[in-house]
Structure 1
Amino acid sequence: MTRGQPGPRSGRPGTPTASDDWLASVAASAAAACQAPADLLGGYLPLLADAAINGRRPDAWELDAVRELGRHAAAQGVGARRAVDLYLSAAWRLWRQLPVVVRSSDPEKVRRAAEAVLRVLDDAIGVLVDGHQTERREMIRHEEAQRAAFVDDLLRGDADVSRLVERAEPFGIDLGKAHHVALVAPRDGEGAADRAAIPLERAVVERFGDREVLVASKDGRVVVVVPGGSAPAFALPDGVDVGTVVQQELRRRKLAGRWLVAAGRAFPGAYGVARSYEEALEALTFADRLGLDTDVVHARDLLVYRVLGRDQAAIVDLVRDVLTPLSQVRGGAEVLLETLRDYFDAGEVATEAARRLHVSVRTVTYRLARVAQLTGYRVSRPDQRFSLHAAVLGARLLDWPATPLPPEP
């Protein structure tokens, strides 16, 4: 037997020996051609040579070793297609140098060798791909778990700052910059946050770029984190903000169901995302409590409700002292309260309030005078107007008069 050519195996099957040095050149050639690490071949080439010469199929433990090589390939970032190409390329290169092929004049012997090699090739490719897929699934599960844990810590804002900044880097998030958070919640039973997250992530990346952007599902909602700066890459039309952009993308993607988008303000720093998230979450809560029939709510527009809502007892007292006298009119307080609400929403312009109420301006002025008569608060006096407006907002927050005020202690 010529040195450097395979002969009958001795020792452990699938493990190269001194006479297998020639296999190293086959492995190196295949690895160079496929641009893949040669060590991913492991004991695969000796298995092929042993099959061609001795007709032996690999044992289960040898195939397990190839399966493990598939896992290593996935862990090293080598795709399944490239790993398979490496194994196929190595197989035909080895076949050209096998003595049973090169020197034999017996077609039947060559046929048997080819059949044995193809069987091993088929077995090896199968377990290689299986190992690769198994590792990829585990990697994806691990990445998803890491992502979910990061999102939870980022939105809570109570994690170690230095560690949080370090964990944010792989996601392209610079916590030194300002960020907006928008929350997307289904308004009916048709919308599903998990299904909406993927197409919405594509849309947000297309609109804002793939840096400083994070989209995830949490508690039945989609969380969208986008940069709070105004760099050209993130430029939006005048007057358009992140909440409106997200709602536009939901409609453009024709996602099932109706969606409510709540947008927090932009804040810088490691806790800026958590602060914006809390604002967006609170905006969703207020939108539900106030019965707002809108598709986009902004935390900045609800700041007064946040102030009022922080002292429930005070707002109850304000509504009771200022507005309950309106209940004395026939039909209850609702008509006069609605007039006040639309009057303030119209910028304290009686003609606009009349248009919204579908009544005459004279009717509006009469009702405002009636409010002053019953409550002692006039919209024409700045100090009394502020108290009236705050009480009207508080009544909306408490859903009064539809919901009775709690009894006085």
Structure 2
Amino acid sequence: MADRSRRESTGTATAPPAQQVWLDEVATAAARDAGSVPVQLLGDYLPMLADAAVSGRRPERAELDAVALLGRQAAEQGISAGRVVQLYLSAARRLWQDLPMVVRSGDSEVVRAAAAAVLHVIDDAVATLAEGYAVARRDLVRREEALRRELVDDLLRGDSDLGSVVERAEPFGLDLAQVHQVALAAPSRRLPDADAAISALEAVIFDRLGDRDVLVATKEHLLVVLAPAEPAAAGATVPAGRDSELGELMHGELERLRHGRPWRVAVGRPHPGLYGIARSYEEAREALTMAGRLHVDKPVITAHDLLVYRVLLRDQPAIVDLVAAVLSPLLQARVGVGPLLDTLDAYFATGGVATESAKRLHVSVRTVTYRLGRVKALTGYDAADPAHRFTLQAAVLGAKLLSWPAETRRSTT
């Protein structure tokens, strides 16, 4: 049990054979009490206790450093702090109960002094053990965070060596052959407490989806969640609302945090394989960007909902030409181009109902009809004419995506 060379180097006296057998028995029983924790984690703790009971000697610095090292080893082996402390306390209890009668004297003062000495060793050893354990856990967490960030970067980039990424993903429980989707969460300001946000998301997502095939990290001031999806979802038409379940789950939990509100969450579509992860990430990131440009007021958006805008942007020179050809005449309007574009946008969003458009814009119906008349007079396109509506609506959407015009819009007539 106890290492002879370590005891000699730290100054702890080597126990006689009979006493060593007794200490080994105490150590074995204590390890069993703690749930079969490796008995080697006791090191020279029991000889230190026995020596304190007999002579009152306090442990030396080198002996406590050895205990701290044992705490680090316990953390690295994945043994819980509670079980390690239980090992040390159980060992002390059993040793005190089984101390030879020469130590357990009938003289109360002798017993009191021995007990005080043993308690001092327990205090010093357990505190040092816990400190070593905590240091190791912090180091492990930092190491895991760094590995997780590197893995997330490679997964989202999509051009890394497949074999290397698969090997590094395995400890995190990721099966890259499965179908995954990526969701991004953006705070209203700079990402506040990333650790708190990650912990909150991990707790709720692990509870709902399990801890395999789920990865939560940060990237470019965004929270990134990689989660499994149904295999049938990849490349299939997703029922309304189904592809936003992950986003709704994330948004509901993030809104509980003290900082970062209001949050906006974007969810990419499910795709299979390593390159599908990168594709889902690009869709989610693009959805966040387009939602900002389009002034979408929904807190959770999906790439599926914005497919039409991706089509518009796919041929950007064409959409730039469309916007310029159709909407440039509006720059001459006395009221400004902004109110006219806003009116067109509201008119199309309400299905061409002027009264509903007026309510949305907080203006009169007469103002809406006047503005639509000015659009027709300046551009030649009538928003009420089905033959013109598609061209006008596509141009308005393109203007929003391109943030056209660059000048600040005026929102009043």
Normalising by structure 1, we get a TM-score of: 0.79
**Structure 2 vs 1, CA of residues 45 and 337 (structure 1 numbering), >3 Å: closer, same or farther?**
closer
State the match for 1:3 in structure 2: none
Judge which range, 62-71 or 85-94, deviates more: 85-94
Distance, in Å, in 2 between the alignment partners of 1:344 and 1:301 is 17
Deviation at 1:269, TM superposition (A): 0.9
State the match for 1:34 in structure 2: 34
**Structure 2 vs 1, CA of residues 342 and 124 (structure 1 numbering), >3 Å: closer, same or farther?**
closer
State the match for 1:239 in structure 2: 241
Partner letter of residue 12 of structure 2?
A: G
**Structure 2 vs 1, CA of residues 390 and 38 (structure 1 numbering), >3 Å: closer, same or farther?**
same
| Aligned with residue 287 of structure 1, among 271, 287, 291 | 291
State the match for 1:206 in structure 2: 207
Q: Structure 1: where are the runs of 5+ without partners?
A: 1-8, 405-409
**Structure 2 vs 1, CA of residues 329 and 41 (structure 1 numbering), >3 Å: closer, same or farther?**
closer
**Structure 2 vs 1, CA of residues 201 and 93 (structure 1 numbering), >3 Å: closer, same or farther?**
closer
User: 1:113 and 2:114 equivalent?
Assistant: yes
State the match for 1:164 in structure 2: 165
State the match for 1:298 in structure 2: 302
Matches within 5 A, 1:67-106: 67-99=68-100, 101=102, 104=105, 106=107
Distance, in Å, in 1 between the alignment partners of 2:344 and 2:310 is 21
**Structure 2 vs 1, CA of residues 21 and 300 (structure 1 numbering), >3 Å: closer, same or farther?**
same
Query: Does the 8 A contact of 2:347 with 2:354 survive in 1?
Result: yes
User: 1:227 and 2:225 equivalent?
Assistant: no
Deviation at 1:202, TM superposition (A): 2.5
Distance, in Å, in 2 between the alignment partners of 1:238 and 1:307 is 20
SS of aligned partner of 1:322: helix
Distance, in Å, in 2 between the alignment partners of 1:57 and 1:63 is 10
Q: CA RMSD in A?
A: 3.7
Deviation at 1:199, TM superposition (A): 2.4
Q: Deviations over 1:254-291 (max 9, x none)?
A: 86621222222111111222211111112222222233
Query: Does the 8 A contact of 1:247 with 1:261 survive in 2?
Result: yes
Deviation at 1:26, TM superposition (A): 1.9
**Structure 2 vs 1, CA of residues 209 and 113 (structure 1 numbering), >3 Å: closer, same or farther?**
closer
Deviation at 1:133, TM superposition (A): 1.9
Query: Does the 8 A contact of 2:8 with 2:14 survive in 1?
Result: no
Q: Structure 2: where are the runs of 5+ without partners?
A: 1-6, 233-237, 409-413
Judge which range, 311-320 or 135-144, deviates more: 311-320
State the match for 1:175 in structure 2: 176
Partner letter of residue 306 of structure 1?
A: R
Query: Does the 8 A contact of 1:189 with 1:257 survive in 2?
Result: no
Matches within 5 A, 1:253-272: 257-272=261-276
Distance, in Å, in 1 between the alignment partners of 2:195 and 2:30 is 43
Distance, in Å, in 2 between the alignment partners of 1:177 and 1:229 is 9
Judge which range, 271-280 or 291-300, deviates more: 291-300
State the match for 1:5 in structure 2: none
Q: Deviations over 1:302-341 (max 9, x none)?
A: 3343344455444332222222234455545556544543
State the match for 1:324 in structure 2: 328
Query: Does the 8 A contact of 1:100 with 1:113 survive in 2?
Result: no
**Number of equivalent positions:** 387
Distance, in Å, in 2 between the alignment partners of 1:11 and 1:148 is 42
State the match for 2:398 in structure 1: 394
Query: Does the 8 A contact of 1:184 with 1:260 survive in 2?
Result: yes
Partner letter of residue 154 of structure 1?
A: L
Deviation at 1:156, TM superposition (A): 2.1
Judge which range, 313-322 or 280-289, deviates more: 313-322
Partner letter of residue 260 of structure 1?
A: R
**Structure 2 vs 1, CA of residues 72 and 336 (structure 1 numbering), >3 Å: closer, same or farther?**
closer
SS of aligned partner of 1:101: coil
Distance, in Å, in 2 between the alignment partners of 1:90 and 1:106 is 24
Judge which range, 77-86 or 336-345, deviates more: 336-345
Q: Deviations over 1:350-372 (max 9, x none)?
A: 4x3553246769x76x9778756
Query: Does the 8 A contact of 2:54 with 2:103 survive in 1?
Result: no
Distance, in Å, in 2 between the alignment partners of 1:330 and 1:106 is 105
Rg larger in structure: 1
Deviation at 1:70, TM superposition (A): 1.7
Q: Deviations over 1:221-267 (max 9, x none)?
A: 22223322189xxxx99635233443344446786621222222111
Deviation at 1:136, TM superposition (A): 1.9
Q: Deviations over 1:193-236 (max 9, x none)?
A: 554333233233334343333322332222223322189xxxx9
